Amino acid sequence: MDLEKQTAPAADMRASDADRDRIADILRDALAEGRLTPDEHGERVEGVLNAKTVGELEVFIKDLPAAHGPRTGPAHASVPNRPSDVLADPDDHAVAIFSSAVRRGRRRAGRRIHAYAVFGSVEIDLSEAIFEYQQVVIKAFAVFGSVEVRVPENVSLRGAGGGVLGSFEVDSLDAEDPAAPVVYVDGWAVLGSVEGRARRGKLVADILDRVHSKVDRSLRKHLGR
């Protein structure tokens, strides 16, 4: 059997979400550098969403420098712009179709959260969440809807995504503590919006202090002190 016929060229391989994210990052950088106009960026992003193979994706960056050499991230970045270890399956789904979905309060933050807003709104508020993992990935998709993410101000926050006639805005945030959790917001906004912000005044340390205080009060009450 001919081995060359068995092995398909890389360009013919089906594109994954990670492949589309990589191309979208290059297009976003090209827009910021002035290599693409907003109209050109929008057209190419729409093409990236519709591309089926890796070869089709590469067409959208073939005239950009990033396609002809290794990409280097900014020297000042204290945390990587992409997560290093991500589970394929989400720990939680937040789905809003002609409705709303909310995740807030004192709850454990999973390693991967999927949020879908279709003619609806999703709110993911991690300002009081328990962070058991150093990396939390939120995959957000808004179609004629909105996804809003809020985090404590002493974690790191990164965003990688885009908008097609929509808005994808995630504020970059660097925590002073290099061991602090990192929240990655990734996805697309199609005629909708995806937003990631820090909730000022909310700190992971403050939450832990309140928990310890409640535990101490409960113990003193139990012991009759």
pLDDT digit string, tens, across residues 89-144:
778 889 999 999 999 998 888 889 999 999 999 999 999 999 988 899 999 999 99
Average pLDDT over residues 26-46: 87
Q: What is the DSSP string of the chain?
A: --HHHHS--GGGSBPPHHHHHHHHHHHHHHHHTTSS-HHHHHHHHHHHHH--BHHHHHGGGTTSGGGGS-----TT-SS-SS-SS--SS-SEEEEEESSEEEE-SS-EEPSEEEEEEESSEEEEE-TT-EE-SSEEEEEEEEESSEEEEEEETTSEEEEEEEEESSEEEE--B--SSTTS-EEEEEEEEESSEEEEEEETT--HHHHHHHHHHHHHHHHHHHHT-
Instruction: Quote the pTM value.
Output: 0.57
Average pLDDT over residues 22-36: 85
218, pLDDT greater than 80: no
Q: Pick the residue with more confidence: 222 or 138?
A: 138
- Confidence class for position 179, pLDDT limits 50, 70, 90: confident
> What pLDDT is recorded for position 180?
87
CB atoms within 10 A of CB 35: 16
Task: Compute CA distances 169 → 82, 139, 188, 211, whole Å.
Answer: 16, 14, 10, 32
Q: For residues 98 and 120, is the Cβ–Cβ distance under 8 A?
A: yes
pLDDT digits (tens, 9 = 90+) for 44-96: 988 988 888 888 999 999 998 877 665 444 444 457 767 766 666 778 889 99
Q: For residues 125 and 150, is the Cβ–Cβ distance under 8 A?
A: yes
**Average pLDDT along the chain:** 81
List of residues 6+ apart from 190 with CB closer than 8 A: 49, 141, 142, 143, 144, 163, 164, 165, 166
pLDDT digits (tens, 9 = 90+) for 7-16: 344 677 888 8
